[in-house]
Structure 1
Amino acid sequence: MTLWRKSRLVARLAAVCLALATVGLAAPPTFATPSAKPPQADAGRAAVADPDAALGAGWRKSSDVLVTGAGDATGFHLYVAREKDAYAWSTLATLRSSALDLGVWAGQVCVTGSGRYAVAVYAPAMAANKPSLRNGGGLAAVVDIATGTARTLATGVQLAYFNPACGPGDRVLLTRAIGADGRETDLLAGDAVSATVTGTRRIHAQLTTPAPAPDGDYGIVNGSLVRVTVTGSLRQVARPSGRPYAVVATAHNGIDLLSGKGGQAYAERWSAGSLRPLGSAAVGRLQLFGLPGGRSALVGATGAVGRAAELTTVPADRQVEAISTQGHLVAERVLSRAVPRGATGASRTATGGQVAPVDVTVRATGSGRVSTGTIATGRAPTLDAIPVTGKPAGTGQARVAPLDDEGTPRCAVGRNDPRIQALQPSANMVEWAADQAVHGRLTVGRPANHLRTGLPAYSPQGLFPLRALAGGGTVPAQLLLAILAQETNLAEASWHAVPGDTGNPLVSDYYGNRRTDGSSDIDVINYPGADCGYGIGQVTTGMAVGETTFTHNQQIAIATDYAANIAASLNILIEKWNQLYNDPGGRTWLNDGSPRYIENWYLAIWAYNSGFHPSGEAGANNGHWGVGWFNNPANPIYPYDRHRFLDDYDDAAHPWNWSYPEKIMGWVEVPQRQGGDDAYSTPTFGTAANDQLYLPNNEAPPWPRWFCTAANACDRQVPADDDPCPAESDACWWHGHLDIATCASDCATERLAYPAGSGEPVIDRVYPRSCDTLDYGSDEFITSGLVPIVYDLNDPGDYALGCSMHPPNGKFTLRTGSPPDIYADLGQIDLHQIGAGYKGHMWFTHVYRPIDGIPATSNANHQVTATWSPDLEGTGHRRYDIVAHLPSHGGETENAEYVVWRDRTTQGTPGTCEIDQGTGSIFDEQGEDKWVYLGNYDLYPGARVQLNNLGDGQSDGTVDIAFDAMAFIPIQGTGHQCRDPF
């Protein structure tokens, strides 16, 4: 989600990545139509160097295959590497949703027992920030490993490390957490062959790590292995040695488990009514995977693991991402460069809105040989799980929930409004604003009509005065910066805008993702269900139509001005601290309670994400109150063997493996990198801290029972109490005081990069600001007279970047949806405005193939048609060179077909010109603005040029198409030809 550079086309990107791949791993380009068998990688360019030595003599005849996934802004991609190809990589499938424009995707994959299918649960990574989406905001799909064909299995499933769960056959289990703290569970049984959910059972308990077995379904409840009956009731069958965090069913020999306690991981097998040990190692040194054929694999420090039927042991010195179906290869790292990096990671920039390269490290388990390199994501069968569609339920397409009475959005600040454009700040500006805001000095003056929004003059903390912190003091700047990093990767505008651009305001959920009964369901386009989180701090409360927390001017400032948003976000954080400090039932706090120490904010961050249950409501909640179970680090939805967040820089690719406070504290310790540099400063760590924060963790007792007291009916002194929240009720809510550190020596304090009163820094642009005006004076064919230029905005006053403008000579229209009178709103979902192009504004969308069986003119899902209609002189015809402007970024299709209608009718054959919109070079992703000829034409009054986003049968929505300015140059003679450079 750090969106700083424009990629080239998929084929060119593949070529670049192949050239840059390190020795040992090749990246052949891959292409396939959605209905075709996916291409096999070229075995002549082996992914594993010297495969005879690394893999053994029989590798050419092996059926071993590794399937894994990685996400970028275009979707969650599944990759396949086959041993018979020396594990050369190709793209198996792309899973996405055009209705969810929320940045980088993340997901998890398992392979069914037959080895025929991969099952994935995936969602925008941003969903990890919202408890409702964590509980039920995931999509599930089945992918045929032989063909890449992908089908939707389920929607509204839990985003957790144990989803999906494959078994010995082609049966798969999925979970959906019920209630704010997820204390009940829907268990969904799916059939991979038919890609259908065959049944759903409501479990009146928190069930984790499900496992489909030949004799029924199993899982973990309150620390015990349980069997789930056909009615959803539970039968306890075993109590593992520690807290379970991995469960795999074998075909014939029972259930294998991993559990942790006291820093040790225990591998055990339940079979024939008893539990027997398989071995143990330090926590983090053993992993458990299911393999096809009903086998399991223990990976890690396996020297102390005994032999057992249907069990494979694979030594490894670090945790791995995936294992091949026969255990011959492990993937130690599969990381897209679109994933935000911590300071310990590589300093590459990510790709904004485009397919991103993927860094891969694999190890052959037989020889131990390691290969590293970079692979390219190729074109592959694509599943648009939630298309933008108006078709009703039951037609095979996602449904659209009824809108409110007026059919208008719930969120107060709209999308695709040229008068509402947010400026994308650079990291230096964000750090400056945070440093000023926490000390009440964010008072920079914004002039009237700032960013052309029509607002009167204001200052950020004039609109949102700094609230007082209960007990005095200030918020540490690094804490605020870490929240902004986790929430939006420091972005105020849409993910598609790079620093220096304007764009649509960043809104986490503009179109809604809830059913009308209020339950979470990410496959519903439902305006009333939108939560309306805006901008860099994801300000939600007060941002809906009719809400009175903010005035409409304040709402616009929050949506468009990063500094105003930071000022408002800071007050929300302060409110959470004050809630915990001032509750009449007593203060909830850590350590010495001083706000100057970052560690002391752990509980306020907890409440910031999942709320605080005040003591005044205890009477309705069995006497309980405090911070909820969802973000408790002991909650089993987080794997017991996780390390500190960002100990490894690919942790951000698995955002639902850590609680929200753990992630925030991780971004405090390890700043994000943008453009090769740390995006903000690290804090001043305590003298005994070794550049780390003192936090609740699993590296020392009493974890995971830090928050285990009489307040939530938890007794630390009972050895059998391995489950830190024994009560199946709201007793898991915790309040009170806990000492973790001696803050005077151990805790961290803020470090200001910009002293109080510093002026706003200059924006660090990715692309230079261009206000150049079309210069046509050197055209040898030009005649005197008017040169009509049609902008992509009809009112020059809507251009937000301040370029000097002359009046437009014509009209520009965008028609969204087809027919637009029915589907106009739906067509807006995948349309975006960016402050790039001629004079600093252009539109773009993605190229899609027409819907099967429906004429291209009836593509209601995605169709966007742009029309440039110039004001031409006179009443007769005249010859013109037509010149289209191509932006430096935002357009990349090689096949933009411009259609020229010579007069106001649609009679006769129009002229056409197909243009490659990409403006960068193969070796330099930085593009530049330029003009290109569409050819010369005799034009009459009423002439116009049209361009739409309908491609061919291979178009899958991963390639951008731009709509920018158009010039009509009167000429004499023959003029220029299509694609002539300007």
Structure 2
Amino acid sequence: MEEPGKRLGKDWKKSTDRAVTTAADAGGLKVLVADSKDAYEWKTVATLAEPAMPADTWIGNACAMDRDHVAAVYAPRTFTNKPDLMQGGAFTAVVNVKTGMVTKLLFTASLAYFDPTCNPETATAAFTAFRDNKSRLVTVSTSGKTTTDTTADGQVTSAVPVDDGIVAAQGRNLIHLSPAGKARTLASADSAPFQIRPASDGVAFLDRTGDTARAKLWTGHGTPSTLASGKVGDIALKQGTGGRVFLTGHTKNHHLTSSAVSALNVEADSEISSHGRLAVAPVLAPGVRVGLDNIKDAGKGFTKTEPSPDTTMAQGAAGEAAAPLTIKSTATTTGESLVQTVPDTTSTTGKESFSPALRAQEGRKPNKSQEAAAADDERAHNPVDTDRWCSVPRNDVRALALQPTPNQVEWAVDMAVRGKLEAKWIKQGGWRSQAGLGTVDPQGLLFQPPNLTGGGRIPAQVLLGVLAQESNLWQAESGVIPGQMGNPLAAVAGFYGHEGGTSDGYWTIHWNESDCGYGVGQVTDGMRLAGFEKPGEKSLSPAQQKAVALDYTVNIAASMYILADKWNEVHTAGQTITVNNDDPSKPENWFAALWNYNLGFNPNKGDGKPWGLGWYNNPANPFYPPSRHPFMTDPHDAAKPQDWPYEEKVMGWAAWSMDTGYSYGTDGRQDWPGESGYGTAGFRPAWWVNELQRDLIKPPLDAFCNSANNCSSTSPPDCPDAA
């Protein structure tokens, strides 16, 4: 950096200001720090991941407990597709940024945007997990020692530790939880409080009314005072040290009478350093799959411009990012912009040892069938799980899946939605014979095209959005390049099963809890071995199960069949849920069916009890940041998919497509970024009349939670999630 004094302002060498950020890729969640006295030269202090656990990319959140310690949650990206893992299955750790030492913690937590939350004044962090309509709140010290472990009824969000317990949101109330779990209301708000920040003169937080957000301060008694307002997403509160809180973004009606809350003229989503001298923009690591914002289809055919630096990337599927990491920031004292590269982000500290949440299963064996017990000797030299409940094993050289190109996936989807994905269009033999599949006829014999209630067909981009979110358009595991064969893509947690509210039980093998999702659509229906079906499930035949797990065309036919069934389910007489004019040809009208695809449906039993789509994916759920914009309108969204409910992510991929890193031209020649053919686009994105309408694929926060459907975000509905 040239002339740092001019960029960083007076006394930058003497300042103890420290900035912390994270960058996630297939290697892990990277924790990076930079100090003012070093002209904010970034260094990677730890990489959080679990050995041998596959991930297309790791994701997570982190916060500074004090100058030298960071608390973090981290998990594979695919955890965002599983409500139980998303709400309570992420790994937890404390990182000493001075020494690089990582202390992995025994419990798991949620991937919610507020998890964890730190208080530098108490040098503690709070972690939250949601299970069975209860909230578990754990606070830890910088050593990783648990200081409190509290369980509260209902949904508690945005929990932050204070010196005498926890301050959090429950419904529209700001509450205090004692170490013993006793709750008392501190103040009421207009909505569920969020971005709760302890200040030296009270507790600052945001709430909202419609699209207007207000920054408020509760000083220990009475009604909170309003400090400033702005559009939801345009203002934010960030924690500093010394009891300071920073108000960022584009605010109106300043009334900053609080000495502890000060405004910074930077973007609302910036991460702020400990003393507020540096504002760091969201970081997207090279290799993370993003949306292409330069692909347009305006009725003139498919065109592609040169990819911008933010959306061009290396393959990234099989390991660390190939390109240097770039971090952009602003020195708040001068307003100067900084662009810095981090050439080395390969720190192994934090990824070489197992989390205690996984180590709990060592020395413990799952229940086995007699046949599996008799095969123990063979298993000592055989990596295939003979005592599994899922139909197609992992690590079996006789059951390998072909990794398709993105163009092959798009072709199969285009054919499937037209009911034309039949044997006559599929090349038989070759790798299919090698995999023991025989003749494949996805929609001729296996999954015949379903009829949609109301007629019409599924828009191709909706199904492609599902496949992008579920698998990155992969049929085989992430390390397998297109055209090669490998293990069928099956999430480790879903293959081995998990259960329970404690780590000791949660990450032990539980075959009976296996969901058995396979391939590009992560198809689960009928994929358990015969005799091990879920209640109400009928297993597919062994030949069909193998085809779903190994052949992307069959998997896509099955995925389309399931999605159509989810549409029909929300159009059943007596429990119809429609969106807009309910025209199935319009991608945005599939919002409810996609919600159903991920979570399931609570049927109307006519007993007066709540029915419909579950609370977990409701846009109004305070589990997700109210400040979020439509998914993938900013390429950096790919680094934080946990901030959007499932159906919003799918609609984002449908609208913006995804960058797969490379594709193949029409002549079969491989194309790398910037070359001919389809370039790096995963598929042709959906297109609306203008970009404003494209942005409107994200509904208003209260669209599905209002007085008309007996739902209130300040009092979550008494309705079970049908995951």
The residue type paired with residue 495 of structure 1 is S
How many angstroms does 1:523 deviate by? Answer: 3.6
Q: Which residue of 1 aligns with 2:142?
A: 192
Q: Which residue of 2 aligns with 1:524?
A: 508
Counterpart check, 1:450 vs 2:450: no
Q: Between 661-670 and 148-157, report the one with greater CA deviation.
A: 148-157
Q: 1-side partners of 2:334 and 2:356: how far apart? A: 51
Matches within 5 A, 1:857-868: none
Q: Is the 8 A contact 2:213 2:235 kept in 1?
A: yes
Q: 2-side partners of 1:390 and 1:122: how far apart? A: 13
Q: Is the 8 A contact 1:240 1:268 kept in 2?
A: no
Q: Is the 8 A contact 1:259 1:266 kept in 2?
A: yes
Q: 1-side partners of 2:559 and 2:179: how far apart? A: 47
Matches within 5 A, 1:4-403: 46=1, 49-112=2-65, 114-167=66-119, 168-179=121-132, 183-193=133-143, 195-250=144-199, 252-274=200-222, 275-301=224-250, 304-316=254-266, 318-344=267-293, 345-356=310-321, 357-380=324-347, 382-384=349-351, 387=354, 393=360, 402-403=366-367
Q: Which residue of 2 aligns with 1:570?
A: 560
1:326-346 CA-partner distances (Å, limit 9, x unpaired): 111111131112221111252
Q: 1:51 to 1:688 in 2, by over 3 A?
A: closer
Q: 1:392 to 1:697 in 2, by over 3 A?
A: closer
Q: 1-side partners of 2:495 and 2:449: how far apart? A: 31
How many angstroms does 1:245 deviate by? Answer: 2.0
* Identical aligned residues as a percent: 33
Q: Between 408-417 and 155-164, report the one with greater CA deviation.
A: 408-417
Q: Is the 8 A contact 2:108 2:503 kept in 1?
A: no
Q: 1-side partners of 2:359 and 2:596: how far apart? A: 39
Matches within 5 A, 1:449-848: 450=432, 452-462=434-444, 463-509=446-492, 511-515=495-499, 523-546=507-530, 547=533, 548-582=538-572, 584-616=573-605, 619=607, 623-674=609-660, 675=662, 676=673, 677-685=680-688, 687=689, 690=692, 692=694, 694-695=696-697, 697-698=699-700, 703-711=701-709, 713-714=710-711, 723-724=712-713, 726=715, 729-730=718-719
The residue type paired with residue 503 of structure 1 is G
How many angstroms does 1:54 deviate by? Answer: 0.7
Cα-Cα RMSD: 2.6
1:62-112 CA-partner distances (Å, limit 9, x unpaired): 322111111111111111111121111111101111252132101111001
The residue type paired with residue 144 of structure 1 is N
Q: Is the 8 A contact 2:496 2:513 kept in 1?
A: yes
Q: 1-side partners of 2:574 and 2:551: how far apart? A: 39
The residue type paired with residue 171 of structure 1 is T
Q: Is the 8 A contact 1:581 1:587 kept in 2?
A: yes
How many angstroms does 1:319 deviate by? Answer: 3.1
Q: 1-side partners of 2:155 and 2:189: how far apart? A: 17
How many angstroms does 1:446 deviate by? Answer: 4.8
Q: Is the 8 A contact 2:170 2:192 kept in 1?
A: no
Unaligned 5+ runs, structure 1: 1-45, 715-722, 734-982
Q: Is the 8 A contact 1:265 1:282 kept in 2?
A: yes
Q: Is the 8 A contact 2:216 2:225 kept in 1?
A: yes
Q: 1:401 to 1:118 in 2, by over 3 A?
A: farther
The residue type paired with residue 632 of structure 1 is N
Q: Which residue of 2 aligns with 1:920?
A: none
1:876-926 CA-partner distances (Å, limit 9, x unpaired): xxxxxxxxxxxxxxxxxxxxxxxxxxxxxxxxxxxxxxxxxxxxxxxxxxx
1:447-486 CA-partner distances (Å, limit 9, x unpaired): 3571512222122223222122223221111100111111
Q: 1:400 to 1:72 in 2, by over 3 A?
A: farther
Q: Is the 8 A contact 1:558 1:564 kept in 2?
A: yes
Matches within 5 A, 1:957-972: none
Q: Between 58-67 and 523-532, report the one with greater CA deviation.
A: 523-532
Q: 1-side partners of 2:212 and 2:511: how far apart? A: 49
Matched positions, count: 658
Q: 1:648 to 1:727 in 2, by over 3 A?
A: closer
Q: 2-side partners of 1:450 and 1:442: how far apart? A: 16
How many angstroms does 1:516 deviate by? Answer: 6.4
Q: Is the 8 A contact 1:557 1:565 kept in 2?
A: yes
Q: 1-side partners of 2:286 and 2:279: how far apart? A: 20
SS in 1 for 2:108: strand
How many angstroms does 1:427 deviate by? Answer: 1.2
How many angstroms does 1:525 deviate by? Answer: 4.1
The residue type paired with residue 628 of structure 2 is R
Q: 1:185 to 1:392 in 2, by over 3 A?
A: closer
How many angstroms does 1:654 deviate by? Answer: 0.8
SS in 1 for 2:281: strand
SS in 2 for 1:431: helix
Q: 2-side partners of 1:392 and 1:60: how far apart? A: 44
How many angstroms does 1:696 deviate by? Answer: 5.0
Q: 2-side partners of 1:603 and 1:578: how far apart? A: 11
SS in 1 for 2:635: coil
TM (norm. structure 1) is 0.64
1:635-674 CA-partner distances (Å, limit 9, x unpaired): 1111111111112111111111111111111111111122
Q: 2-side partners of 1:478 and 1:226: how far apart? A: 43
Q: Is the 8 A contact 2:519 2:555 kept in 1?
A: yes
Q: 1-side partners of 2:250 and 2:237: how far apart? A: 12
Q: 1:192 to 1:421 in 2, by over 3 A?
A: same
Q: 2-side partners of 1:68 and 1:390: how far apart? A: 25
How many angstroms does 1:551 deviate by? Answer: 1.0
Q: 1:646 to 1:525 in 2, by over 3 A?
A: same
Q: 1-side partners of 2:128 and 2:651: how far apart? A: 28
The residue type paired with residue 306 of structure 1 is L
Q: Is the 8 A contact 1:391 1:399 kept in 2?
A: no
Matches within 5 A, 1:897-908: none
Q: Is the 8 A contact 1:343 1:678 kept in 2?
A: yes
The residue type paired with residue 359 of structure 1 is T
Q: 1:392 to 1:663 in 2, by over 3 A?
A: closer
Q: Between 267-276 and 453-462, report the one with greater CA deviation.
A: 453-462
Q: 1:53 to 1:392 in 2, by over 3 A?
A: closer
SS in 2 for 1:342: coil
1:530-560 CA-partner distances (Å, limit 9, x unpaired): 3221100000122122244311111111111
Q: 1:659 to 1:461 in 2, by over 3 A?
A: same
Q: Which residue of 1 aligns with 2:382?
A: none
The residue type paired with residue 625 of structure 1 is W
The residue type paired with residue 314 of structure 2 is T
Q: Is the 8 A contact 2:421 2:553 kept in 1?
A: yes
Q: 2-side partners of 1:73 and 1:173: how far apart? A: 27
Q: 1:488 to 1:58 in 2, by over 3 A?
A: same
Q: 2-side partners of 1:169 and 1:496: how far apart? A: 43
Q: 2-side partners of 1:390 and 1:299: how far apart? A: 37
